Amino acid sequence: MNSTDDTLFISVHLLASSDLASVNKAVSLYEDLLGPLEQMRIDADTSLLKFASNKPKPKIVAVVSKQINGKPDLPDGHTLAASGQIFIEGVQTLCAATRKN
Amino acid sequence: MPKIAVKIPIAIVGYLLIAGCTSVSGTQKRLTKDYVARFGAVCPSEDQLRAAHVPETDAAYRDRVIMVCVKAINARYVEFTEQLSTESTGVNLISDVAAQSLATAASLVTKAKLAGELAAASALSVGLGASINKSLFYEQTLPALLASMDARRSKVLTSIVESQNRDREAKVYTLARAGADLDLLEQAGSITSAVRELTSSAVENANEANTVLQAAQREIDIGIFVANTPSDILARVRGAADLVRRLEAADNRAVLLTLAQSLGHQPPANGSPTYLGGLIRGTIAGVTTIPVDQQASRMNQIEALLAPYRGISS
C-alpha cells in the first residue's frame, strides 16, 4: 500500500424496518464518526451505507429523503451526496442524500 | 517471468551442491505454546476455543486472538527470512526441497557423490543455459522464493481479513475456522510452499495478491446499526473518535499503528495516519453495532487504549 493512499470505506447496515428518521439518525452519527456518506444501496435484507473515512468530517450532515418521480429533491445550494434504493419501513425505496453547501 | 521460473529450480539444486554451511532449515519454525505465550495467547488453543469471553463479543474475541496469532506467525516468518538472507545458509534446504519432487534434488543428497552430482546439475544447467552459482541464488532465486512466500501469505491473510469482514458476528467464521486458516498462514512461510508457488509466476502472484489484500484492507464492514444505542454511549463513541481524529491531524502514525493493531487490525506498516485513523474510528463506530448490554464494556476497553493520548490536541 502506498503510504499516501488513504482510501478506506466503512460500511454500516440498517435493518430493513428502519424508518426515514432512523436512517437520518444513522447518517448523522456516522458522518461525524467516519466521514461523508458516499453510497447507499440494498445489501441482501439490509440497507447499506458506505462512508469515506479518508475525507474530512462534513461540516453539514447529509439528509436522506425519498426521491419524487425518480429525481432527487435538490434545492439551490445543495449537492447530491449519494442516491440509491434502500429499505424504508420494509419497502425498497429510491432515496437521495443531499447536503447543504 | 518465464526465464526466472525455469532457472529457479536449477539454481536451487546448484546452490544445494555448493553451499558450505548448514545453519538454517527450509521452513519457519513451528509455533510453540511457550513462544506464542509471549504474545498473550495460543493460536487458538483448545482452552481458548472453549473459553467464555463475556463481555467481549464473539467477533471481538475472535479478532483479538487472530491478531495475536498473526503477530506471532509474522515474527517467526521475519526470523526465517532473515536467516535465509544470511550468506552462510543453504544445505539444510536439501531435505525440504527434495521432499517436493524436484527429481534432480532427490538424487543429490549425499556429499559423497558430490562430483557426480555437480556433473549432473551442471549438465542440467548447461542444457537450460543457466549459471549455477551463489550469485544466481542470491540475486535471482532467493528474492523470487521470498516473493513467492509473500504471495502465498498475502493470499491467506486476504482470505482471513475477508472472512472476518464478512462475518461481523463470528457465527460462521468462528475462531476454530480461523485456526485452520492460521495454520495455512504458518505453512505458507516455507521453501516447500515457495517452490510450489513458483510453478506460476511468483512476482505476478505477489503483485496480484497484494492488490487483492489492499482492496480488502480498503473496505471494512462494521455491522448493523443498533438504533437504541444509549445517548451516553454515543457521547463516549464520539469523544473517542474525536481523539483519533486529533491523532490523525497531529500526524501521529506510530501511535495510530499501535492502536490499530491493538484493536485487532493488521494494517500495512506504511499506512497513512488517515488510513490508520479510519480503521480505528471504524472499530469505535462498531460499538454502535453490538448489543446494547455489551457496549459499555467495549467502550471501556477502547477508552483504556486511548487514555494515554487524551492530552493530544490537533
Q: Among the residues of chain B, which ranges form H helices?
A: 2-18, 33-37, 46-50, 58-84, 93-98, 103-106, 114-128, 134-136, 142-166, 175-187, 191-197, 202-217, 231-249, 253-262, 273-285, 292-306
Q: Which of B225, B238, B284 sits opposite A14 (nearest CB)?
A: B225
Chain A positions touching B289 (Cβ under 8 A) are 12-13
B227 contacts A46? CB cut-off 8 A:
no
Question: Is B69 exposed, middle or buried (CB count within 10 Å of its CB: 0-12, 13-18, 19+)?
Answer: buried
The contacts of residue B93 (CB under 8 Å, 6+ apart) are B12, B15, B16, B19, B24, B26, B191
Query: Does the structure show a pLDDT above 90 at A86?
Result: yes
Type of residue at A73: D
Contact B244, B307 (CB under 8 A): no
Q: Which of A4, A33, A54 sits opposite B285 (nearest CB)?
A: A33
Number of domains in chain A: 1
In a domain, A3, yes or no: no
Chain A positions touching B221 (Cβ under 8 A) are 10-13
> What pLDDT is attached to residue B166?
87
Query: Closest-CA residue in chain A for B220?
Result: A10
Query: Does the structure show a pLDDT above 70 at B206?
Result: no
To which H or E segment does residue B57 belong?
none
> What pLDDT is attached to residue B310?
84
Q: Using one digit for the tens of pLDDT, what is the confidence trace for B251-305?
A: 999 999 999 999 988 888 788 999 999 999 999 999 999 999 999 999 999 999 9
More confident residue, B277 or B101: B277
ipTM score assigned to the predicted complex: 0.92
In a domain, A2, yes or no: no
Give the relative orientation of helices B142-166 and B58-84 as an angle to the nearest 10 degrees.
Answer: 180
In a domain, A59, yes or no: yes
Contact B103, B10 (CB under 8 A): no
A4 contacts B220? CB cut-off 8 A:
no
Type of residue at B64: R
In a domain, A34, yes or no: yes
Cell of B204: 505476478
In which domain, by residue range, is A35 found? 9-100
Q: What is the pTM assigned to this prediction? A: 0.53
Asked whether the CA dihedral B44, B47, B50, B53 is positive or negative, the reply is negative
Q: Which of B214, B222, B223 sits opposite A1 (nearest CB)?
A: B214
In a domain, A89, yes or no: yes
The contacts of residue B153 (CB under 8 Å, 6+ apart) are B77, B185, B188, B189
In a domain, A4, yes or no: no
